[in-house]
């Protein structure tokens, strides 16, 4: 598999819609047997026409294929994949509002399937990164600074019982060696949950981990990076506050980014909040899943989705768990 934001001289530019309903089911369609990758399931969409924008092409394709009228949608990922016989650039967009009832207007079978039931082998290889994107959580907990190891272990045990599949382990008060030791202790607690723990610390310490993990980069680390710090098997995220940082995260192949502050916060009173309109404007300029951060509550998940976010992230909104 080859995945990149670069564009070869010849490829099929395909607009792809990820349509998820209120039950966390995603709409998929089955390719006709005689077509390329025939018989496999795919996320609906189609090839752009000459001179057509991605937005217009997506609206047209979904209306022609499914009879749906798209109301709100935003870019989340570009996937360049090289098959032996051709190359395709999938321009993937998340649909948050649509009108109509899905029908297979081209004779194709349709299914609403839970995200957890999507199997890589049922899809063309170029679609597989979309499944990984869909499995990103709706909410990410960022740990507060714990006073000592005992408190950290106690609180991590509590988080392993909550419906939070991904935690960013942030302990800004610790020196690099202490952070590494605490992180490995937390890893042991999370291993059986199962719960993914992401490393937020010094990159040299990260390379000393005995068990692999995902890596989160601060905005300062992000700007200094020349390449992705982990391979594709592990998550890579980054903190962003503006378009240039989001663009850098996209170019480095980050799996997702945090964009902040959306709302006022008690810890960064000098920062000007983006507001939902500002968040949507910035997040919509990159093909990258973006989480809303800053003054979030669990009740903000719906608003976050409507404004182009993958979900929310925060510290205080999960501290009562």
Tens digit of each residue's pLDDT (9 = 90 or more) over 101-154: 999 999 999 999 999 999 999 999 999 989 988 999 999 999 999 999 999 999
Assess whether 303 and 158 both reside in one domain: yes
pLDDT for 140: 96
Please tell me whether residues 87 and 181 are part of one structural domain: no
Domain end, chosen from 85, 113, 134, is at: 134
Domain end position, chosen among 108, 134, 160:
134
> What percentage of the chain reaches a pLDDT higher than 70?
97
For residue 7, pLDDT beyond 60: no
**What is the per-residue pLDDT across 43-87, written as a single tens digit (0 to 9) for each?**
999 999 999 999 999 999 999 999 999 999 989 888 988 998 889
Quote the crossing angle between the two packed helices 243-251 and 275-283, to the nearest 10°.
Answer: 40
Between CA 142 and CA 272 the distance in angstroms is: 21
157 and 246 belong to one structural domain: yes
Residue 90 and residue 167 in one domain: no
Mark whether 165 and 179 lie in a shared domain: yes
Domain total in the chain: 2
Q: Note whether 56 and 92 are same-domain residues.
A: yes
Say yes or no to pLDDT of 310 above 70. yes
Q: Is residue 5 part of a domain?
A: no
* Structure confidence by residue, pLDDT tens digits, 249-258: 999 999 999 9
Give the tens place of pLDDT for each residue, 170-227. Answer: 999 999 999 999 999 999 999 878 889 999 999 999 999 999 999 999 999 999 999 9
pLDDT: which is higher, 271 or 13: 13
Comparing CA positions, the residue from 256, 233, 89 lying closest to residue 168 is 256
- Asked if the structure places residue 294 within a domain, the reply is yes
What pLDDT is recorded for position 320?
58
Residue 1 counted as domain residue: no
Residue 303 sits in the same domain as residue 220: yes
Q: Provide the pLDDT for residue 102.
A: 96
pLDDT of residue 6: 42
Residue ranges making up the domain that contains 94: 12-134
Q: How far lies 318's CA from each of 80, 187, 188, 246, 321, in Å?
A: 37, 19, 21, 25, 6
Is residue 83 domain-shared with residue 172, that is, in the same domain?
A: no
Is the same domain home to 267 and 311? yes
Shared domain for 34 and 159, answered yes or no, is: no
Mutual orientation of helices 149-160 and 176-190 as an angle, nearest 10°? 30
Which domain-ending residue is among 90, 110, 134?
A: 134
Please tell me whether residues 292 and 146 are part of one structural domain.
yes
Whether 209 and 310 map to the same domain: the answer is: yes
């Amino acid at each position: 598999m080859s995945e990149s934001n670069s564009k070869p001289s010849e490829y099929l530019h395909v607009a792809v819609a990820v349509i998820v309903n209120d039950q966390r089911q995603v709409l998929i369609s089955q390719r006709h047997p005689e077509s390329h990758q025939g018989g496999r399931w795919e996320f609906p969409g189609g090839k752009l026409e000459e001179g057509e924008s991605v937005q217009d092409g997506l609206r047209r394709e979904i209306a022609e294929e499914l009879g749906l009228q798209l109301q709100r949608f935003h870019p989340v990922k570009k996937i360049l994949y090289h098959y032996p016989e051709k190359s395709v650039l999938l321009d993937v967009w998340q649909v948050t509002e649509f009108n109509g009832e899905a029908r297979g207007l081209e004779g194709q079978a349709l299914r609403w399937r839970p995200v957890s039931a999507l199997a890589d082998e049922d899809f063309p290889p170029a679609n597989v990164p979309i499944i990984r994107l869909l499995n990103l959580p709706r909410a990410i907990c960022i740990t507060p600074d714990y006073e000592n190891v005992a408190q950290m272990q106690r609180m991590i045990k509590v988080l392993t019982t909550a419906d939070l599949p991904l935690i960013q382990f942030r302990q800004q008060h610790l020196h690099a060696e202490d952070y590494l030791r605490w992180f490995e202790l937390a890893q042991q607690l999370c291993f059986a949950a199962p719960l993914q723990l992401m490393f937020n610390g010094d990159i040299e310490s990260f390379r000393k981990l005995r068990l692999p993990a995902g890596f989160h980069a601060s905005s300062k680390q992000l700007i200094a990076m020349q390449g992705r710090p982990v391979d594709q098997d592990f998550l890579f995220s980054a903190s962003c506050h503006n378009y240039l940082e989001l663009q850098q995260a996209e170019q480095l192949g980050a799996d997702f980014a945090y964009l902040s502050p959306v709302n006022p916060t008690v810890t960064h009173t000098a920062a000007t909040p983006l507001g939902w309109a500002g968040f949507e404007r910035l997040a919509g300029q990159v093909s990258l899943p973006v989480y809303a951060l800053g003054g979030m509550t669990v009740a903000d998940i719906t608003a976050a989705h409507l404004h182009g976010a993958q979900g929310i992230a925060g510290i205080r909104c999960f501290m009562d768990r």
